[in-house]
């Protein structure tokens, strides 16, 4: 038996079933339901992806050095990869594993005095590659997003929003995602947590770095 590919349509229909809707969403639909989904899907993705530096979204790239001669004082200019989400989680020189402490970012380019640079970024991945527990939490969050436009039910929206993100006092760090965030943090390598290894502070300016590596 061929396994079902879990794509956007599958997750949307899971969320619709969760709010008790009998409607069925398809990727190429042009009805009112499709319009509502298109208005909510990306907002839900942005919120849920932005909650943490999820391990399943991380990818390391060798940055391509451009032929440009920087005028900002750095020796080399590198193009950062397309499709990334936010700033790099970690920048490394050459083939080493230790974070590069001195660099700068302008738009889509990174500047450094190292001739070879690699970077770890958060990137978008299709739903079939999401962690299963993340998919389940995301389905609940999407149900909250769709409850009002599809079912006109604010109580259901609030219920599923609390289930996904916790009470307002948790500021998005509770509920199903709160537990996943704790697991994601606990699973980071000892001594190399993303928060501690984040070089996106004064380290980029060339000053002393007092963080943990």
> CA dihedral in degrees (21, 28, 85, 166; nearest 10)?
0
Q: What is the pLDDT of residues 96-120, one digit of tens each?
A: 888 999 999 999 999 999 999 999 9
What is the side-by-side order of every strand in the sheet holding 109-112?
64-65, 76-79, 109-112, 104-106
Q: What is the pLDDT of residues 22-73, one digit of tens each?
A: 889 988 888 899 999 999 999 999 999 999 999 999 999 999 999 999 999 9
Question: In terms of C-beta density within 10 A (0-12 exposed, 13-18 middle, 19 or more buried), how is residue 124 classed?
Answer: exposed
By C-alpha distance, which of 19, 11, 9, 13 is closest to 147? 19
User: Token pair for residue 146?
Assistant: 């769709």
The Cα–Cα gap between 187 and 79 comes to: 30
Confidence label for 189 from pLDDT (cuts 50, 70 and 90): low
For the chain, the structural domain boundaries read 8-52+129-186, 57-125+198-205
> CA dihedral in degrees (142, 144, 148, 150; nearest 10)?
40
């Amino acid at each position: 038996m061929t396994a079902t590919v879990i794509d956007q349509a599958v997750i949307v229909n899971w969320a619709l079933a969760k709010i008790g809707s009998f409607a069925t969403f398809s990727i190429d639909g042009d009805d009112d339901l499709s319009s509502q989904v298109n208005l909510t899907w990306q907002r839900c993705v942005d919120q849920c992806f932005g909650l943490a530096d999820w391990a399943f979204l991380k990818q390391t790239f060798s940055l391509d050095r451009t032929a440009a001669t920087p005028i900002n004082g750095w020796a080399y200019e590198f193009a950062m990869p397309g499709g990334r989400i936010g700033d790099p989680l970690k920048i490394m020189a050459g083939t080493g594993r230790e974070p590069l402490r001195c660099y700068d970012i302008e738009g889509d380019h990174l500047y450094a005095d190292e001739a070879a640079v690699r970077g770890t970024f958060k990137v978008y991945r299709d739903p079939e590659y999401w962690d299963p527990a993340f998919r389940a939490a995301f389905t609940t969050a999407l149900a909250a997003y769709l409850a009002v436009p599809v079912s006109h039910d604010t109580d259901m929206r609030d219920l599923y929003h609390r289930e996904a993100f916790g009470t307002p006092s948790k500021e998005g760090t509770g509920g199903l995602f709160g537990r996943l965030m704790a697991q994601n943090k606990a699973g980071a390598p000892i001594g190399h947590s993303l928060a501690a290894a984040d070089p996106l502070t004064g380290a980029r300016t060339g000053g002393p770095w007092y963080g943990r590596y």
